[in-house]
Amino acid sequence: MNAFAQALGFGIASGAIITLGAVGLTVQVGISNVFNVTYGALMTLAAFIAYGLEQRGVSIWAAALCAILTLGVVSVVLNRILIAPLKRRGAGFVGAIIGTVYAGLIIQTLIVVVAGAGVVTYGNHWGPTVTGAGFTFTTIQLGIIGLTVACMVALHLLLTKTLFGRALRATAANENLARACGIRTRRVVDGAWFLTGSMCGAAGVALALTIVSFDFSLGGTFLIYMLSAAVLGGIGQPYGAMIGGLVVGIASQLAAAYSSPVYEDVAAFGILVVVLLTRPRGIFTRRGSLAGLWET
């Protein structure tokens, strides 16, 4: 029971980071109909921006905030200069993915050029360990879980209670119709990319804080977990991604605990494959999607 509780706790902690990233990823798909493979490289960029600021004497928390906001801006720029033009020129879903793959490689290469190919570390910001009811968490893990919960609640309130949220749902449902109704869809899309880019940045910094040391491949290796969570919950469905992130995190840690750590990835891949084969739309109905929310 103790081993199970511990693995469950570890799964919740890693699931929180996956959720933070997966929700941002899936909202981008929902709003722009583009699967942004650059997401992993952007997470890495955020981690390195925070690291660079920390090395210059900025406190890690201020550095993290700067990195998160910077990623919001970078994501807006990425959409404006790459993704939106690709869509306008009729690149199609696959063409846009290929564009983002190469953009991700460029960002990764730039990180290597500027920061080097070696590993870096923020140092130990974990804080004391908290144990209770068989669970074991570090203070930073509890903080990240809290941050993720707060972000999800904030996102829910944004989507359901605010004008921007309504405009976002309308744009996701039918951009042309939304524009015809007077919604400034371009601003809405910019706002969505800023929001999701910030979540991407938060996920990148959170991941780097928990893993001790990292290099230019940080986000790339984590992308599969977020992709699995997004697919499990249903592409374009933020509420689905919230649950999906938790499921993927817990499944990976249980696989590591009860078989072998090498099966962590296998668990994530396995979930992805099983969902694609059996229920490609994800486990949640359209009702939970951005477009579906508009229709309710």
Q: Where are the alpha helices (DSSP H) in the chain?
A: 2-32, 39-55, 60-78, 84-88, 92-115, 139-161, 163-173, 175-180, 185-210, 218-233, 238-258, 263-278, 290-295
Provide the binding-site residues for another protein, judged by CB under 8 A: 2-3, 6-7, 10, 13-14, 17, 117-119, 121, 123-124, 126, 129, 136, 138, 207, 210-215, 217, 221-222, 253, 256-257, 260-262, 264-265
Residue 129 φ/ψ, nearest 5 degrees: -90, 140
Instruction: For the CB of residue 22, give the shortest distance to another protein in the complex, in Å.
Output: 15
Minimum separation from the CB atom of position 241 to another protein (A): 19
Q: Which is nearer to another protein, 73 or 140 (CB)?
A: 140
Closest CB to another protein among 157 and 212? Answer: 212
The least distance separating another protein from the CB of residue 3, rounded to whole angstroms, comes to: 7
Find where tokens 């908290």 sit: 130
Q: Kindly tell me which of 10 and 239 has the beta carbon lying closer to another protein.
A: 10
Choose between 189 and 251: whose C-beta lies nearer to another protein.
251
Closest to 31 in 3D by CA, of 161, 166, 175: 175
Which C-beta is closer to another protein: that of 9 or that of 244? 9
As measured in angstroms, the least distance from the Cβ of 103 to another protein is 21
Min CB(290)–another protein separation in Å = 29
Give the list of residues 6+ apart from residue 186 with CB closer than 8 angstroms, or none: none
Residues 6+ apart with CB under 8 A from 258: 7
